Amino acid sequence: MTLTVQFQTMVSMVLMGIWIGMAVDTYSRFIHEKRKWHWFHFLNDLLFWLVQALLVFYVLLHVNHAEIRFYIFIALICGYAAYRALFDRIYKKLLEWFVSVIVSLFKFAARLLNIMILMPIKWLFMIVSGIILYVLNILRKLIFILLKIIFSPLKWIGNLIWRFIPKQKWYNFKEKYLKLAGFFHSLKNKVSNWKGKKK
């Protein structure tokens, strides 16, 4: 390995150390300390460090064909320490600013979607529903009026026919029923008295 390659490797590992510090802060920003599902967060941590290891290996593969030396780990630690000493606060402030911008843009997009699409659809639905109910109410009244017009002659004809029917026969049905019921009731009483005398 030439000195140029060694120097490139050192610089790359220092930069990767800075990158790992930034990645750790970003990961900690979105994965909070209060953890309910320990196994789930354990898998997240394992995947995170696996991705970082693969990135370091990928950079080494392009710089020195993935030759591992002791100073590579020293360079990674130096880069991470340099990030903590020099760039930690600046990056966290930039990260918070970036998150706040994304959240603001998301809220603005949600409000714009609500105003431009959801609210017009809601008002259109209410207007169409009101028109349909109004039309149905008018149709109901029209159908009621038409039925009244259609059945009015039938009602008039029925009343006319009813006037010419002899009503004496219809009215006598009740009187005959009452007389027949009284006859059977008296017959039942006589049979009961006769059985009582016989005993």
Distances (CA, A) of 109 to 80, 127, 154: 37, 26, 66
The residue out of 85, 102, 119 marking a domain boundary is 102
- Give the pLDDT confidence score for residue 117 in this predicted structure: 87
**Please, which residues have CB within 8 angstroms of residue 56's CB and are 6 or more apart in sequence?**
13, 16, 20, 76
What average pLDDT does range 170-192 have in this prediction? 67
Rounded-to-integer distance, Cα 100 and Cα 96, Å: 6
Domain region containing 60 = 3-102
Distance of CA 148 to CAs 62, 138, 162, 173, Å?
93, 15, 20, 33
- Say yes or no to pLDDT of 161 above 70: yes
Do 153 and 89 reside in the same domain of the chain?
no
Domain annotation covers residue 186: yes
Say if 120 falls within a structural domain. no
Residue 197: its pLDDT value, please? Answer: 59
pLDDT for residue 131 = 93
* Residue 196 predicted with pLDDT over 70: no
Question: Is residue 106's pLDDT more than 70?
Answer: yes
